[in-house]
A and B are shown apart, each in its own frame.
Chain A
Amino acid sequence: MGESIRIELPLTQEKVASLKAGDSVLLNGVLYTGRDAAHKKMVEALERGEELPFDVRDQVIYFVGPAPPKPGQVIGSAGPTTSGRMDAYSPKLIERGLTGMIGKGLRSHEVIDSMKKHGAVYFGAIGGTGALLAKRIVSAEVVAYPELGPEAIRKLEVKDFPVMVVIDKDGNNLYETGKAQYRKE
């Protein structure tokens, strides 16, 4: 793996345009957590014509449901969850200006089309490295839907949070190119 690119959040369109599939990135600044239940609530709020609990413009959502913190910890283990379960909801948030998502695993054509149309990046974090990733989170605060427990929306401040650009705004997809490169038979 080559040198990592340090990115300061928020993730503006200019920064989105600079990222290419396969880039190794260290994220710094504020991002938000959200997984199935929180996404469902956010999209339902939009359908009712209500505001989202935070302005998604130029923001990054991390698909994670952390473990509870031990005394003295900021957050418990916090690795990515499978992104495909958010596919039904992500385009609605991308339309509203969301520029980044962090998760693991495949995304649908609808999500990728929306990313290309509006300018967004899909990052992969290494699934199952929750203990390691939690150490790069310097603060965590529940900002919406506390009743959802591990699925509540949290505002996280991260320092050198390691991710990989899996799908860039032009639709280049590391899952496809990586697999094709090493596939045999």
Chain B
Amino acid sequence: MLRSIHVDEITKAVERLCMEANYDLGEDVLSKFKENLEKEESPLGCEVYERLIENAKIAHEERVPMCQDTGMTVIFVEVGQDLHIQGGSLEEAINKGVALGYTNGYLRKSMVRDPFERENTGDNTPAIIHYEVVPGDTLKITVAPKGAGSENMGALKMCKPSEGLEGVIQFVVDTVDQAGGNPCPPIIVGVGVGGSMEKATYLAKKSLLRQAGEPHKEERLADIEREILRRVNNLGIGPQGFGGTTTALAVHLEVYPTHIASLPVAVNIQCHAARHKEIVLKGTLTGEGE
């Protein structure tokens, strides 16, 4: 028996996820707001948290985007290697879902077709799609709209191995320090270390899909996350850059094996509108195969 999914089902799922991601801030992020509201020492910072909580409530109840920058549509797709996708191209189906979601959901269209000509594509396509082939016969789609205010503050450094852990941490902290209020703190700091240039940036972005503040499963790496968070919060930037003791809600670190001569570090900063919604499509059993 073989499982198969029709592309129309994928389009519908993506359309819905685009809207939900932009209207409904995750409970994980909301509970971080509430937790930090208690911790924050700056009265202005506390005021910011109160407004963020109120804003999320309005967006959810009125079905409007929490932020006008409804982002580049970044999509992570995990395709089960035993799954059959029928009825057309997977990539076209995803982009059609994005176009429908952004049009029918009254989301802002922010994509320009060419980085030099800069003409708006009119429907927020194309999405930025990352595919991974995994064991199994299901299709997992995660839609993670990413605003430019925070995306523009990211950075990559090809450290020397001799710079070690301290060099890595210092680069992350300096990147957040220089960004100041630009990326809409309180932020989540995504950090990718190791691999090649593009692998490090991919890991940094992908780490943002974790539940906000969920520590790395490996204790050694979770300790590094906590140390970076402590140092970032000591910067004093605070919510919105108005000054305060909570600049980041969390630090998420992912690592990968790397070359004997390399130590790449990528920082992908996520604004407080940390949006991602996912679905696992199971498809239907068909008689063919085996």
Which residues of A are in contact with B by a Cβ distance under 8 Å?
A: 1, 22, 37, 64-70, 73, 76-79, 81-82, 84, 104-106, 124, 126-132, 134-135, 149-150, 162, 164, 166, 174-175, 177-185
Contact = CB atoms under 8 A, between A and B. Distances in A.
Contacts of B147: 128
Nearest to B48: A126
A150 B272 CA distance: 22
B68 A130 contact: yes
12 contacts: A65-B68, A69-B106, A77-B64, A81-B69, A104-B149, A124-B181, A126-B51, A126-B52, A126-B240, A130-B55, A164-B242, A182-B243
Interface string B66-98: 111110000000000000000000000000000
Contacts of B252: none
B14 interface: no
Interface stretch (B4-12, B161-169, B207-215, B230-238): B230-238
Contact of B108 (A76, A124, A129, A164): A76
Contact of B65 (A1, A130, A135, A164): A130
B37 interface: no
Interface in B160-217: 180-182, 184
A14 B235 CA distance: 36
B152 interface: yes
Interface of B: 41-44, 47-48, 51-52, 54-55, 58-59, 62-70, 106-110, 118, 120, 147-149, 152, 180-182, 184, 231, 234-238, 240-245, 271-273
B238 A178 contact: yes
A124 B43 CA distance: 16
Which of A70, A126, A134, A182 is packed against the most chain B CB atoms within 10 Å? A182
Contacts of A70: 63-64, 106
Nearest to B42: A182
B114 to A, nearest CB: 14
Contacts of B272: 128
A174 B181 CA distance: 11
Contacts of A76: 64-65, 68, 106, 108
Contacts of B273: 128
Contacts of B148: 82
B108 A105 contact: no
Contact of A182 (B62, B120, B244): B244
Nearest to B246: A182
Contact of A178 (B42, B70, B118): B42
Across the A-B interface, give the 5 residue pairs with the lowest CB-CB distance, nearest first: A178-B243, A183-B236, A105-B182, A182-B236, A127-B184
A82 B271 CA distance: 12
Contacts of B231: 185
A68 B102 CA distance: 10
A81 B58 CA distance: 20
B181 A128 contact: no
Given A81-B69, A178-B241, A131 B62 contact: yes
A106 B180 contact: yes
Contacts of A128: 52, 55, 66-67, 147, 184, 271-273
A128 B70 CA distance: 10
Nearest to A83: B182
Nearest to B230: A184
Given A67-B64, A105-B149, A179 B106 contact: no
B236 A64 contact: no
A1 B181 contact: no
Nearest to B63: A70
